[in-house]
A and B are shown apart, each in its own frame.
Chain A
């Protein structure tokens, strides 16, 4: 049975809690300090997006294995307004949040796999995985 952590995001405290949970799991899986920080930053950005644009949602963090590799998977789910133009938000330089100035392209860069699904007025689900090398 693999571990899955859920963190509700409706305040900045939630962002910190999600970071904490992510860092802990990343360390347990065996990620080095640089990757731990990257994973945490990615969680931060995803959680901030929920907090800023959807008001509330959830970050799920779990360990995954595939073809003998171990990794960490982050799933960010919200029922917010959805993203109108997916291609635009994935473009560099589009960032509008005050945060790191990284936005979604930044998350994609920090992680290995990245998946984005969004429906207008329904919500957005983002999945990002990083594999242990």
Chain B
């Protein structure tokens, strides 16, 4: 430490001497580089002021008393800055620590979501889910059972970030305990609702849409717990309609009955499930309308399901200048044969 001080003193003295002689930009450039070194060596602003004064006193003898005294004031002021700077540094360290904890949590959360493509002859599936921050309050799932029924789910916890992410994991664990209800959407939601109602803050709730596709009958069975309606694409008429189902959001009331609906998918027809992060995208300050979203899907409908969801995400991300306000999940399930 003492050695550093001496070498800093010498360095500063050389710099100041050179500058006073030449008044050159070069010397000032040195000073700028020096300031970086100071911060690396953890030198506080008040020490710098004091360094300046002592070097100056050595170089210019007989400094007027007022000049020397004026530094008392500067020193006092600089101590405040020094403290603020140190506080900032310590907050930055703490932020880094929090960030790394958050990264671990985010990785854990990723492991709750299904991974890998499902390649089936019967259906074409694509999904994208992107959190607004590091952790997501959106949940999605796709799973096959032994009969090759494919179940798909999209759920959305209100809010975002860590509190939403914690509730999202609750849905995942609850789903895992209900394997036999995978082909009974209404019952599945009724069971999930009981779990959620018992374990969630009074002003939080979760919306969810669950459905499954039976590749033998080509029927899609679904139920919704207050979830943002999806879409159905009718390939024969080249038209879209809303996939709506009535039902209360999860977590409000302990006993809720859900309705189950079903529809038939023809070859090329597809189902779109989404979270409200998609419809709450703002383009030019205005929420996108569902019709606009339909037009975007239409534009890409010749692509594979995965390509469609990827392209739509990129378009909307760009339109919002790469600032997601809410977690974004979009899933497409298309009948192939």
Contacts and interface: CB of A to CB of B under 8 A. Distances in A.
Nearest to A109: B86
Interface string B63-93: 0000000011001100110011011001100
A105 B86 CA distance: 10
A32 B49 CA distance: 13
A109 B83 contact: yes
A51 to B, nearest CB: 18
B87 A92 contact: yes
B187 interface: no
B91 A93 contact: yes
Interface string A70-113: 00000000000000000000001100000011100110011000
Given A92-B90, A92-B91, A92-B94, A34 B83 contact: no
A105 B87 CA distance: 8
A34 B47 contact: yes
A33 B50 contact: yes
Interface in B73-125: 75-76, 79-80, 83-84, 86-87, 90-91, 94
A105 B90 CA distance: 10
Interface string A102-127: 10011001100000000000000000
A34 B46 contact: yes
Contacts, number: 49
Contacts of A34: 46-47, 50, 75
A37 B83 contact: no
A58 interface: no
User: Interface size bucket, B side?
Assistant: 10 to 19
B75 A33 contact: yes
Nearest to B79: A41
A100 B83 contact: yes
A127 B236 CA distance: 82
A9 to B, nearest CB: 20
A32 B87 CA distance: 24
Contacts of A105: 87, 90
Contacts of A106: 83, 86-87
Given A37-B76, A92-B90, A102 B83 contact: yes
A38 interface: yes
Contacts of A110: 79, 83
B139 to A, nearest CB: 33
Nearest to A105: B87
B79 A38 contact: yes
A93 B87 contact: yes
A37 B90 contact: no
B46 A38 contact: yes
Interface string B184-199: 0000000000000000
Contacts of A37: 46, 72, 75-76, 79
A38 B80 CA distance: 9
A19 to B, nearest CB: 10
Interface-central residue, A34, A38, A40, A92, by most chain B CB under 10 Å: A34
Contacts of B76: 37, 40-41
Contact of A102 (B50, B71, B80): B80
B97 to A, nearest CB: 13
Nearest to B49: A34
A101 B79 CA distance: 11
28 contacts: A33-B75, A34-B46, A34-B47, A34-B50, A34-B75, A37-B72, A37-B76, A37-B79, A38-B46, A40-B76, A41-B80, A92-B90, A92-B94, A93-B87, A100-B83, A101-B80, A101-B84, A101-B87, A102-B80, A102-B83, A102-B84, A105-B87, A105-B90, A106-B83, A106-B87, A109-B83, A110-B79, A110-B83
